[in-house]
Structure 1
Amino acid sequence: MHHAPAALAADGPDQAVIGAASGLLGQYRSAPGEAFLASPTRTLLTSGVHARVPQDARPLPVRVAETLAAAGRSGIERPLVVGAVAFDRESRVELAVPERVRSAGALRDDPLIALPAPPAEQVDWRIRPVPEPQVYGAGVAAAVERLRGGELSKVVLARTLELSAAEPFDLPAILQRLARRDPGGYTFAVPAGGGRTLVGASPELLVSRRGTAVLANPLAGSVPRSADLGEDVRRAAALLESPKDLHEHAVVVDAIREALAPYCRTLEVPERPTLVRTAAMWHLATTVSGELADPSLSALELACALHPTPAVCGTPTDVAREVIGEVEPFDRGLYTGMVGWGDAAGDGEWVVTIRCAEADERTLRVYAGAGVVDRSDPAAELAETSAKFRTFLDAAGVSR
């Protein structure tokens, strides 16, 4: 692995230094308090914990702003908050101001990211699905009945795989493989509390803010990729015309528009979605862009106004949350929350926490979900979650 000396010293994004971004990726060690974040705009590696964002009854953006302000007063230059927020953001936040932040340009712009990742270890993983596949399918079928009864128009139902190994495994190597497989996405490894790490590669930007420029990139409606080029192209074309997927996508885009409109002077929402591909999936995507009416509004405040979108919860939100609580036999924790960074000026990038796992030395809990609408087929949704698992399972060297 190439470690560029410039990456060691860089404290601001340096687009020009070849190897700077991939060098930061190579230096991630999964040490306590260490975090790695890569996006299409920058790569961050942090170390040490200067201050943690407290867990109390005040609104999250208030707690974050006060933590950043205190860090600035105590001598931290250009403080950032980095980490993850749970699906139920009132229940859990894992956000901290690091002692040191090293940054570089985007991974996708670093030619060295094309070098192969370390090969997957030979780990004898024991795998336990929670719930069992047939139980998940029955949950989807029950939800479809409720959807057809008009209680709600969409709900996202998830399942997990619990992977355990006899020996500690190499988490930084898994991060390497995730990042090198989809360098244009959002790759992360951040502390998840209790000695665990939240690690993954999400294709979905919840919201970013740079000055008054706002960007959201909702994804909803997806199909697995194919190794056969002709079949892969056919699947992509079919996804763009699928009434079920286009409806599912429109529900999410409408919710994003409604949530952002009150805060924006201008808001551009394309009429039709485009395609985004990862190594495992095709997704319908829409890039929503706007300009803030009030420049003091932070990226995190916008993220809290958007979260949870119908892409990870459903609509109406309250009913969808209820159904999720009844059907899913586990606590989502940080899965389908948001992960990212924010600064004291209000700029930041917050990503939807999908294609991820919570990890400790010997276990991985991998998550995947599917959007269920009244036309959903339980077998198809089960297949979709299996395909979404592949992003992480391939990186962990799980062949099934």
Structure 2
Amino acid sequence: MDGFVLSRPDHSVLTRGVRRSFDCARAAADALSDGSARLIVGALPFDPSAPTALYEPAHATVTNGPWSPETVGDLPVTRAVREIPSSAEHLLRVEKLIDRLRNRELDKVVSARTVELLAESPISPTALAARMAALNPAATTFSVDLSAAGAGFVGHSLVGATPEVLVSRRGTVVTCRPLAGTARRGTSPESDRDAGTSLLHSTKNLAEHAFVTAWIREILEPLCSDLSVPTTPELTSTHEVWHLASPIRGILRDPTTSALGLAIALHPTPALCGTPTDAALDVIRDIEEPRRFYGGAVGWCDGDGDGDWVVAIRCAEISADGLTAWASAGGGIVAESDPQDELDETTTKLRTLLTALGVRKTN
């Protein structure tokens, strides 16, 4: 494994080596609070009941500005070999979920699918992260060793370029920027502008976004004073899609609450799971293959409690030998969703990772 990387436009955290690892988030948070660890990096899985991949690094470097490696190897020829589930099966899943939503079993649920990739030679996590950083300069690029999660993850890595910040903490200031509500970008300036405007006024997408901001408010109000949650979202974009975003800010009531503690409290948000959270999580466990670390969170937290945790989307898990990778994408389903639109949304989101690897098709 090449080491931990989390690169944001304004700063980067790079680490090498492992002093000790934690498969439990609370144990890692306790190590920070009692002073036995000065820095924790790694990943939280999508399912909070699964083992984490957190560790105290042996060496760490924090720099201003984005990460820019001096030398990067080439990426191998890679092809998509399997969809999990198939496109047809995903459509059927979404149709069944819409029926359950219309029966008011829950308000929103996120449905995801995965593309399995085979490479002709090993994929270097560092090379892939560097490629994704170059293609997505406004995103947060990450590469993290998943070995701490135990059997089935030893030597595996998670690499991505996410547009979504779960939570950041600096001193007593807490910020979040959830994304929920998506539209494919247009192919001309006019159609692109129209796509963004349509998203900003979409009843379905505004409702989906409101579930997320309401839930974050519920979690943060006991923890923060002067909590600011916008009443309406703003537009933000990646190369592939428009998103609805809400910048949220608050001041910690208890200054000992760490960035990792906040991440544990907030994850998984309705943006990646659904509403109500427990009901949506049960549905996802029942109908989907395990998401592993897709839809989880990647980040760092230091001994002062400061840190950044981003949502693990637009990413892939890479096998220990580097020859297989799994890229996943999901979309929020509400009662007004259209199955084909939801399938198309996942295809569009997958392009961030597939483009970096030079994969043109998902089947």
CA deviation vs aligned residue, 1:146-205 (integer Å, no higher than 9, x gap): 000011000001000010123223432321121112222211000012111100011111
Structure 2 residue aligned with 1:350? 309
Structure 1 residues 394 and 262: alpha-carbon distance in aligned structure 2, compared to 1, 3 A threshold: same
Shift of 1:71: 4.2
Quote the offset at 1:83 in angstroms.
Answer: 0.5
Picking from 52, 77, 92, the partner of 1:93 is: 52
Matched, 1:283 2:237: no
2:150 is matched with none
C-alpha distance after superposition, 1:39-79 (max 9, x if no partner): 24411111011111254xxxx3343332674645xxxxxx2
Relative contact order (alpha carbons < 8 A, sep ≥ 6): 1 or 2 greater?
A: 2
1:84 alignment partner in structure 2: 43
Task: Tell me what 2:29 maps to.
Answer: 64
SS at match of 1:254: helix
Matched, 1:373 2:334: yes
1:112-261 equivalences in 2 (<5 Å):
121=75, 123-193=77-147, 194-261=154-221
Letter in 1 for 2:55: A
Paired with 2:196 and 2:232, the residues of 1 have a C-alpha distance of 15
Which range moved further: 369-378 or 170-179? 170-179
The match for 1:3 is: none
- Kindly indicate whether the alpha-carbon contact (under 8 Å) linking 1:178 and 1:201 is maintained by their aligned counterparts in 2: yes
Question: Which one-letter code corresponds to 1:176 in the other structure?
Answer: A
Q: Which AA in structure 1 matches 2:308?
A: E
Per the alignment, do residues 71 and 303 of structure 1 end up closer, same or farther by CA in structure 2, a change over 3 Å counting? same
In terms of fraction of residues, the more strand-rich structure is 2
TM-score by length of 1: 0.84
Separation in 2, partners of 1:144, 1:209: 37
Q: Secondary structure at the match of 1:147?
A: helix
Letter in 2 for 1:384: E
User: 1:102 & 1:345 partners in 2: Cα distance?
Assistant: 16
Q: How far does the alpha carbon of each residue in 1:77-125 deviate from its partner, in whole angstroms, 9 at most, with x for none? A: xx21110011123311111111111121122xx8x89x9x989756152
Q: Does 1:362 align with 2:323?
A: yes
User: What does 1:332-343 align with in structure 2 at a 5 Å threshold?
Assistant: 332-343=291-302
2:160 and 2:129 mapped to 1: Cα distance?
A: 7
Residue identity opposite 2:242 in structure 1: W
1:272 aligns to what?
A: 232
Question: Which residue identity is paired with 1:294?
Answer: D
Is the aligned partner of 1:53 residue 2:7?
Answer: no
Identity among equivalent pairs (%): 42
Structure 1 stretches of 5 or more lacking a match?
1-29, 73-78
> Could you tell me which of 245, 263, 276 is aligned with 1:303?
263
Q: What is the TM-score of this pair, normalised by structure 2?
A: 0.92
**How far apart are 1:301 and its partner, in Å?**
1.4
**Residues 268-303 of structure 1: CA deviation (Å, up to 9, x unaligned):** 111211111111111000001001111111111111
Aligned residues: 353
Q: Does 1:43 align with 2:39?
A: no
The whole-number CA distance in structure 1 between the counterparts of 2:110 and 2:142 is 23
Deviates more, 1:230-239 or 1:382-391: 230-239
Whole-angstrom distance in 2 between the partners of 1:327 and 1:45: 37
After TM superposition, the runs of 4+ consecutive aligned structure 1 residues lying more than 3 A away are 67-72, 117-122
Report the Cα offset of residue 208 of structure 1.
1.0
Structure 2: stretches of 5+ with no match in the other structure? 148-153
Q: Give the distance between the partners of 1:331 and 1:233, measured in 2 at CA.
A: 37
| One-letter identity of the residue aligned with 1:237 | T
Q: CA RMSD in A?
A: 2.0
Give the match's secondary structure for 1:383.
Answer: helix
Q: Tell me if the contact between 2:132 and 2:160 (Cα under 8 Å) persists in the aligned partners.
A: yes
Distance in 2 between residues matched to 1:338 and 1:383, nearest whole Å: 24
